Amino acid sequence: MTDFLVEFYHKGDMLLLTLCTAASLYGIVLIYSATRWTGGYRSVIVQCVALLIGICLYIALTFVDFHLLVEKGWKWFLAFDIGFILLLLTPLGTDNDSGNLNWLALDKIIPGFPLDLQPNEIVKIPFILLLAWQITRIQERGRDISSLPNVMQIAGHTLLMVGVIAVICGDMGMCLVYMCIFVVMAWIAGVKKRWFLIGGVGLVGGFLLAWHTILKADRFRYIRMRFLVVLDHDLDPLDKGFHQNRSLLALGSGQFSGQGYLNGTQTQAPYSSALPARHTDFIFSACGEELGMVGCVIILLLLAAIILRCFHVGRTSNSPFAAYACVAFGGMLLIQTVFNVGMCLYVLPVMGLTLPFFSYGGSSLITLFVSMGVVSGMKARSLPSWLRDRSRI
């Protein structure tokens, strides 16, 4: 075991692990404050256990050659992506009162098991690896990545996953994340700009068509209202705009240095309607109330450092597959951060996307450490073979 850890120290990305652990510990401190009013410590315990599991997986996955795995078993990766999400249709599937069928309740199999798995979070990892392999294979064969058949191939993979998640989970926020990951990877792969223009026009046209047809139905009115309240904050302040109005109030009352840790007016209020989802979707707002702008800036700096590290590993990697995968993982973190903070600032609609490493969620935290472990493995293989063999000296 000692030799294994020494080898990890020399080959793995210790800086990335340090940044991810620091962000997670900061998040646990915020989760403790945000859930203190409940009188229990379950959320903190679950997050700590998830952090320990995540660190172990990070270390182990540093030694896995995912390029070889995907190349030899890409069909299994695709089958896992779809099959894992289809498990939500079994009795294990639950919406946890969120309205979206996103979780597998493992306590139905193992009584007392503290974690619920979120398949559409976990599946992002094989989705990114499989998409990176598709792009790499097209380019290695000397084909034009911007040709219609090749664009349709990678776009078809993305649309398949988005369609499955939309139909089964109903999680439009997660669908948007998958689509943005595809855009990031297609852009760095060199897909010509005309395809982005065509895709953008198609998406805008589709949204406008849905806005004037499907979203006018009573059953979809809540989605329409989530967009309208962003444009007019006074439109529905006690219902669809309630969460974000409370979020702005929390952020504004914190000012520069905050009201003090464990002293936030809404964060410590003993009722759920003060600042809803204060330990998950709106943990950034809870931080702003108690630690002020200073605390929020620290969050953004930690996330920026993790994202830039992913980009750096991708930029210095010795294979296109590693470059695409690392940039995609960094882009995934950037997308979720922008969406979550934008939601807290009331400039984007509520999408149910958590803040990476900071929001409560055991399966989410483990998934993040697994994805960063993949990046660490890419970094370990970025060295020339002769130097990689001598790296433990």
Q: What is the mean pLDDT of the chain?
A: 89
pLDDT tens for each residue of 147-157:
999 999 999 99
- Asked if 362 and 46 count as a contact pair (C-beta separation under 8 A), the reply is yes
- Candidates 129, 149, 131, 124; CA nearest to 189 is 131
User: Looking at residues 350-378, what average pLDDT do you find?
Assistant: 93
Q: What pairs with residue 104 in β-bridges?
A: 93, 117
The pLDDT score that the predictor gives to residue 393 is: 32
pLDDT tens for each residue of 39-64:
888 899 999 999 999 999 999 999 99
Q: Taking the alpha carbons of 268, 271, 276, 280 in that order, is the dihedral positive or negative? A: positive
Alpha-carbon span 242 to 244, nearest angstrom: 6
pLDDT tens for each residue of 173-186:
899 999 999 999 99
Q: What pairs with residue 43 in β-bridges?
A: none
User: Which strand (E) or helix (H) includes residue 116?
Assistant: strand 116-117
Domain count, the chain: 1
Banded model confidence at residue 382, pLDDT cuts 50, 70, 90:
low
* CA 362 vs CA 168, 264, 380: distances in Å: 22, 25, 27
Domain region containing 151: 2-389
Alpha-carbon span 100 to 351, nearest angstrom: 11
The pLDDT score that the predictor gives to residue 219 is: 67
The pLDDT score that the predictor gives to residue 322 is: 93
pTM given for the model: 0.92
Quickly count: other Cβ atoms within 10 Å of residue 16's Cβ: 21
pLDDT tens for each residue of 261-270:
999 999 998 8
The pLDDT score that the predictor gives to residue 61 is: 93
pLDDT tens for each residue of 233-254:
888 787 788 889 999 999 999 9
The pLDDT score that the predictor gives to residue 11 is: 86
pLDDT at 124 over 80: yes
pLDDT tens for each residue of 193-227:
999 999 889 888 988 888 877 777 776 777 788 88
For tokens 């000012």, the residue is: 255
pLDDT tens for each residue of 20-31:
999 999 999 999
DSSP class per residue in 139-155 = HHTT--TTSHHHHHHHH
Q: In the chain, what is the greatest distance between 2 CA atoms, to the nearest angstrom?
A: 67
Ordered strands of the 93-94 beta sheet: 93-94, 103-105, 116-117
Instruction: Give SS3 for 254.
Output: helix
